[in-house]
């Protein structure tokens, strides 16, 4: 098992290039199943999750080529001349639950899909009931049998109405992808509005899909008979950007992030300002300058409010604040597993009625810690860069799922961070 070793408390500053967004690329890759034309995705980060989904799609008949390989990213050519299998196996789907995003496209293209239930993960049970209800609203027959979602639409999907009882990014994405080829018009209400969904819609519309309401919670999709190919540049990863902004904050230094649009990071930027981090928005970059670390209270919620994917990283930052903060994780039921690990580094965090109460300390002390999930592992990197002495982070396969070239990017701004086998 690889681990990362950080010698903390080093002066850091400089520029970091933000990669393409993992959570935009994954649904965009699934779009390839909807057409037999070529889809070229540019600005794809070199991440484990992208490798995993590539394997899943190849199992369905998608041909995938990496081109223009760069330091830790590339462009991806995907073509699915025909669907060779409509089954997504348990082995593959349990490796990465976003594989459930093949459900809508397989149904739309072939009228059938057999997709394993993803099973839970570290941060929660993560059911897919909303995905299934959305497919039923489009006329699919869906049953669960032996751990698989068995969905059929023998006469094709039909446009329908569906109001999501709760906001779900993945279920919204699956419903959009299923409805673009359905017969008739679909109205989806209480949709998630994450920027990654807007990016998916932008790509589908460029391929000929008829979708209105982008950026709102009500989407109207008029089904078409087929989609063209497209070349699409993936939006920047707002979660990667927010993670690095926390490093500028905790190290009280200036870090400039390139290739990130500020408008998809508005709420985290407003919280960073409340914390006392100076933010300068430039032409194609944002500079974050840590000065003081004031306590703030955070509650996670669907976009455009505070993203749950930045909760662990902001908690690490607040461990060094000059007061007491409260974090209320409202999206996932078990997304506080970084607390015991941060505590091992000397953080002062307690749980009170399911909220995390963080009392800032002057410094943290390096120690061996364990990554438990993707964003928790980034909170340990942030804390490790701040802590005195050495922090060793085990199980960094979690980190490799969502941060491309992390140690290279951090070394470039002066961090002493090494990956060891």
**How near is the Cβ of 36 to ligand EPZ at its closest, in Å?**
25
- Closest approach, Cβ 226 to ligand EPZ, in A, equals 26
d(CA 29, CA 49): 11
Q: What gap in Å lies between CA 76 and CA 13, rounded to an integer? A: 32
Q: What share of the chain is helix, strand, coil (3-state, %, to 5)?
A: 35, 30, 35
For residue 391, how many other CB atoms are within 10 A of its CB? Answer: 27
Site residues for ligand EPZ per CB under 6 A: 22-23, 26, 98, 124, 126-131, 166, 168-171, 192, 308-309, 331-332, 374-375, 402
CB burial of 169-203 (b: ≥16 within 10 Å; e: otherwise) equals bbbbbbbbbbbbbbeeebbbebbbbbbbbbbbbbb
Q: Which residue, 112 or 126, is less far from ligand EPZ as judged by CB?
A: 126
Pick from 238, 283, 271, 277: nearest CA to 255: 277
Q: From CA 152, how far away is CA 154, in angstroms rounded?
A: 6
**In three state form, how does the secondary structure of 340-383 look?**
HHHHHCCCEEEEECCEEEEECCCCCECCEEECCCHHHHHHHHHH
Q: Any residues with CB less than 8 A from the CB of 399 and at least 6 apart, and which? A: 4, 371, 374, 377, 378, 381, 393, 406
Residue 280 DSSP symbol: E
Question: What is the set of active-site residues?
Answer: 121
Q: How many helices (DSSP H) and strands (DSSP E) are in the chain?
A: 14, 24
Residue 19 vs 308, nearer CB to ligand EPZ: 308
Return d(Cα 186, Cα 184) in angstroms, integer: 7
User: In angstroms, how far is CA 108 from the centroid of its own chain?
Assistant: 24
For ligand EPZ, the closer CB: 227 or 374:
374
Closest residue to bound ligand EPZ by CB: 170
Nearer to ligand EPZ, 243 or 256 (CB): 243
Please identify, using beta-carbon distances, which residue of 122 and 224 lies nearer to ligand EPZ. Answer: 122
Toward ligand EPZ, which CB reaches closer, 12 or 26? 26
């Amino acid at each position: 098992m690889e681990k990362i070793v950080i010698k903390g408390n080093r002066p850091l500053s400089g520029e970091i290039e933000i990669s393409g967004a993992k959570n935009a690329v994954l649904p965009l890759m699934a779009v390839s199943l909807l057409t037999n034309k070529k889809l070229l995705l540019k600005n794809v980060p070199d991440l484990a999750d992208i490798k995993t989904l590539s394997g899943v799609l190849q199992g369905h008949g998608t041909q995938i080529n990496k081109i223009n390989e760069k330091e830790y990213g590339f462009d991806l050519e995907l073509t699915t001349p025909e669907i060779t299998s409509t089954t997504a196996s348990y082995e593959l789907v349990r490796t990465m639950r976003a594989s459930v995003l093949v459900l809508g496209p397989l149904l739309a293209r072939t009228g059938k899909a057999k997709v394993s239930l993803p099973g839970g993960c570290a941060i929660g049970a993560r059911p897919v009931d909303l995905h299934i209800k959305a497919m039923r609203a489009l006329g699919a027959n869906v049953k669960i049998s032996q751990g698989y979602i068995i969905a059929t639409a023998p006469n094709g999907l039909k446009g329908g109405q569906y109001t999501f009882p709760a906001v779900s990014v993945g279920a919204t994405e699956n419903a959009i992808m299923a409805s673009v080829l359905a017969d008739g018009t679909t109205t989806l209400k209480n949709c998630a509005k994450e920027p990654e969904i807007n990016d998916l819609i932008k790509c589908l519309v460029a391929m000929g899909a008829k979708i209105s309401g982008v950026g709102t919670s009500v989407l109207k999709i008029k089904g078409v008979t087929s989609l063209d190919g497209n070349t699409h540049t993936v939006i920047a990863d707002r979660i990667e950007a927010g993670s690095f902004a926390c490093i500028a904050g905790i190290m009280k230094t200036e870090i400039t992030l390139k290739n990130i649009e500020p408008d998809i990071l508005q709420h985290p930027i407003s919280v960073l300002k409340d914390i006392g981090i100076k933010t300068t928005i430039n032409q194609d970059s944002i500079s974050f300058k840590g000065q003081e670390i004031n306590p703030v209270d955070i509650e996670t919620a669907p976009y455009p409010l505070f993203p749950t994917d930045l909760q662990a990283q902001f908690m690490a930052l607040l461990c060094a604040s000059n007061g007491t903060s409260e974090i209320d994780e409202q999206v996932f039921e078990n997304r506080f597993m970084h607390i015991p690990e941060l505590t091992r580094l000397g953080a002062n965090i307690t749980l009170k009625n399911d909220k995390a109460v963080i009392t800032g300390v002057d410094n943290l002390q390096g120690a061996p810690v364990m990554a438990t999930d993707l964003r928790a592992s980034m909170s340990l990197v942030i804390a490790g860069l701040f802590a005195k002495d050495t922090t060793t982070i085990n199980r960094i396969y979690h980190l490799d799922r969502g941060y491309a070239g992390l140690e290279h990017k951090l070394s470039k701004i002066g961090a002493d961070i090494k990956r060891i086998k």
